[in-house]
């Protein structure tokens, strides 16, 4: 069991910080790690997607050698999180132990800045501190004596993504910067920053904030437009007779909460396009993190005029889930009955009940005009899949940023949650590997790379103009 809380007074270069240690013994870690390792080897369908068995074994051995003595709970979490992110599966999530997370959230350990991350640069997006001598837009050169590039190179290792595309990792890291910073560098309450201001270096010393206070300051100082009532599915006609289709999500519940129905919306939108004889269409998938598999296939069926393949295969590595004593999702063995042993590929099971594994049929009145699809690092999972299919069928021009989801597919569906008994670390195992019906070697290990790439820089973020959309509109006149 977890040892009791110990208070320690620690002196470091930024001052005196009182923090709680949550020690975990080597025996407790080994027990947890055995469960973690064995469950991943048995269940995760993408464990060997980007690394062979010898490399995975080496990584497992590296973890085992690092837990042969007592550690802090945060350090054990960090070791497992790095390993899990190293699988390069964007659906493989792990959460921090609540006991430790609750403690740091209530203490003055959050850096009082919201950051915008741009490649190797850290930029001040929101100043949440009491120091008004610096504003948004300044580049952060170092934090507590550590250069920004070194910080980013360290923290990016904690963030999951499909393959080797970094743009989605950067998004995740920006939203979890302080948490991963605390795991990597400890729980400082004073932060010395070097800022680049008009070509000169400015140094500031900032006091950390409790998480709730930082969030409230962010809301009070930088109020956002309330978008809760905006439709998730949006259609309009732009100037120059261009149809614009915005699909924020393929998540059924999100769409339902906004009183919309996906298939009816698409049917009406394409009916209007047909009635107005519009021959140019922009489909905006930016920020669409996915959802229902069939929603992507339905969209493709409105745009591809011949029968087409969507998924080549849906594959699992097991149909038995032996970790129910550590999981609240105890009905997985029942769902496992839907998986059939594949005689042609030993050690795998197929899921053939999905309609998307079969040949897809186009609708009667397919849109045959010009199509431009807008993507970014937030285009993930089902949204990334449909982008891949449209690309493979030469059905669109793509503008924006590389998709956050893998071009060739992903591991998802049937997310099996496990909580390790000693550390109380939670992680989720995707059960199914999706093989999207594509074949474009330059994109192996990557997302879909647009025909016209427009990186989302800080300058873009702060601009009133939507450069990606404007570029899409202009592209039709070429």
pLDDT computed for residue 5 by the predictor: 32
Q: Are 354 and 311 in contact (CB under 8 A)?
A: yes
* Mean pLDDT value of segment 217-221: 96
- How are beta strands 233-238 and 242-247 bridged, if at all? antiparallel
- What average pLDDT does the segment 180-189 reach? 94
Mean pLDDT of the region 295-310: 97
pLDDT at 229 over 70: yes
The average pLDDT across 4-25 equals 49
**Distance of alpha carbon 285 from alpha carbon 384, whole angstroms:** 9
In terms of Cα–Cα distance, which of 57, 135, 45 is closest to 89?
A: 45
Cβ atoms of 331 and 285 within 8 Å: the answer is no
| H-run or E-run covering 103 | helix 98-106
pLDDT at position 7 is 33
Tokens read off for 121: 């640069």
Q: Is the confidence at residue 292, as pLDDT, over 80?
A: yes
| Overall average pLDDT of the 63-78 stretch | 96
SS3 category, 64: helix
Q: What percent of the chain has pLDDT over 90?
A: 85
Give pLDDT tens digits for 347-359.
899 987 889 999 9
pTM: 0.92
Residue 202: predicted pLDDT: 95
The predicted pLDDT at position 411 comes to 97
φ/ψ of 250, rounded to 5, equals -105, 10
Tallying the residues shown for the chain, one arrives at 478
pLDDT classification of 225: cutoffs 50, 70, 90: confident
Q: Is 250 helix (H, G, I), strand (E, B) or coil?
A: strand
Looking at residue 423, the DSSP 8-state letter turns out to be T
pLDDT at 478: 65
Q: Is the pLDDT of residue 236 over 90?
A: yes
Of the candidates 441, 434, 358, the one whose C-alpha atom is nearest the C-alpha of residue 392 is: 441
Number of neighbouring beta carbons within 10 Å of residue 208: 24
Residue in 132, 108, 100, 282 with CA at minimum distance from that of residue 202: 132
Q: Mean pLDDT, to the nearest integer, of 423-429?
A: 97
The 10 Å Cβ neighbour count of residue 187 is: 23
Sheet holding 397-400, edge to edge: 233-238, 242-247, 280-284, 370-375, 397-400, 452-453
H or E element: which one contains 467?
Answer: helix 467-475
Predicted local distance difference test score (pLDDT) of residue 367: 97
- The closest alpha carbon to 242, from 275, 266, 277, 286, belongs to 277
Residue 181: is its pLDDT beyond 70?
A: yes
Residue 196 confidence (pLDDT) above 80: yes
Residue 269: pLDDT over 90: yes
- 356-402 confidence digits (pLDDT tens): 999 999 999 999 999 999 999 999 999 999 999 999 999 999 999 99
Of the pLDDT bands very low, low, confident and very high (cuts 50, 70, 90), residue 15 is very low
pLDDT-wise least confident of 212-226, 276-290, 334-348: 334-348
Q: What is the spatial distance between Cα 370 and Cα 296, in angstroms, rounded to a whole number?
A: 19
pLDDT tens, position by position, 46-70: 999 999 999 999 999 999 999 999 9
Note the pLDDT tens digit of each residue in 332-345: 888 788 889 998 89
Closest-CA residue to 384 (of 436, 432, 428): 436
* pLDDT for the residue numbered 334: 82
Sign of CA dihedral 252, 255, 259, 262: negative
Looking at residue 335, its pLDDT comes to 78
pLDDT in tens, 107-130: 999 999 999 999 889 999 999 999
- The total of other beta-carbon atoms located within 10 Å of residue 332's CB is 21
């Amino acid at each position: 069991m977890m040892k009791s809380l110990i208070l320690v007074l620690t002196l470091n270069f930024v001052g005196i910080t009182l923090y709680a240690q949550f020690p975990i013994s080597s025996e407790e870690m080994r027990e947890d790690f055995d469960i973690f390792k064995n469950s991943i080897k048995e269940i995760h369908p993408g464990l060997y997607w980007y690394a062979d068995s010898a490399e995975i074994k080496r990584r497992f051995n590296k973890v085992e050698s690092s837990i042969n003595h007592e550690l802090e709970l945060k350090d054990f979490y960090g070791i497992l999180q790095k390993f899990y992110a190293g699988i390069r599966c964007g659906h493989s999530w792990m959460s921090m132990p609540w006991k430790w997370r609750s403690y740091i959230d209530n203490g003055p350990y959050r850096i009082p800045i919201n950051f915008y991350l741009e490649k190797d640069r850290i930029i001040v997006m929101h100043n949440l501190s009491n120091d008004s001598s610096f504003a948004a837009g300044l580049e952060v050169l170092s934090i507590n004596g550590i250069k920004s590039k070194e910080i980013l190179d360290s923290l990016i290792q904690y963030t999951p993504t499909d393959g080797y595309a970094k743009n989605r990792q950067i998004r995740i890291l920006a939203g979890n910067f302080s948490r991963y910073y605390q795991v990597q560098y400890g729980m400082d309450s004073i932060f010395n920053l070097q800022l680049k201001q008009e070509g000169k270096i400015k140094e500031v010393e900032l006091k950390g904030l409790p998480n709730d206070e930082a969030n409230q300051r962010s809301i009070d100082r930088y109020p956002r437009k309330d978008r809760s009532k905006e439709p998730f599915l949006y259609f309009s006609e732009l100037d120059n007779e261009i149809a614009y289709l915005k699909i924020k999500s393929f998540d059924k519940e999100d769409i339902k909460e906004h009183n919309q129905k996906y298939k009816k919306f698409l049917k009406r939108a394409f009916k209007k396009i047909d009635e107005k004889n519009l021959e140019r269409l922009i489909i905006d998938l930016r920020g669409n993190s996915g959802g229902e598999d069939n929603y992507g296939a339905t969209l493709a069926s409105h745009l591809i005029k011949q029968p087409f393949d969507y998924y080549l295969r849906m594959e699992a590595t097991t149909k038995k889930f032996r970790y129910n004593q550590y999981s609240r999702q105890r009905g997985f063995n029942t769902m496992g009955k839907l998986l059939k042993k594949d005689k042609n590929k030993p050690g795998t099971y197929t899921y053939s009940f999905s309609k998307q594994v079969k040949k897809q049929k186009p609708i009667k009145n397919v849109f045959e005009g010009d199509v431009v699809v807008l993507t970014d690092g937030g285009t993930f999972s089902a949204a990334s899949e449909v982008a891949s299919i449209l690309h493979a069928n030469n059905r669109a021009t793509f503008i924006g940023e590389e998709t956050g989801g893998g071009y060739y597919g992903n591991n998802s569906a049937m997310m099996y949650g496990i909580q390790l008994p000693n550390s109380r670390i939670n992680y989720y195992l995707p059960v199914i590997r999706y093989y999207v019906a594509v074949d474009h070697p330059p994109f192996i290990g990557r997302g879909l790379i647009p025909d016209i790439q427009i990186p989302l820089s800080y300058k873009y973020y702060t601009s009133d103009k939507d450069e990606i959309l404007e570029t899409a509109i202009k592209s039709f006149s070429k």
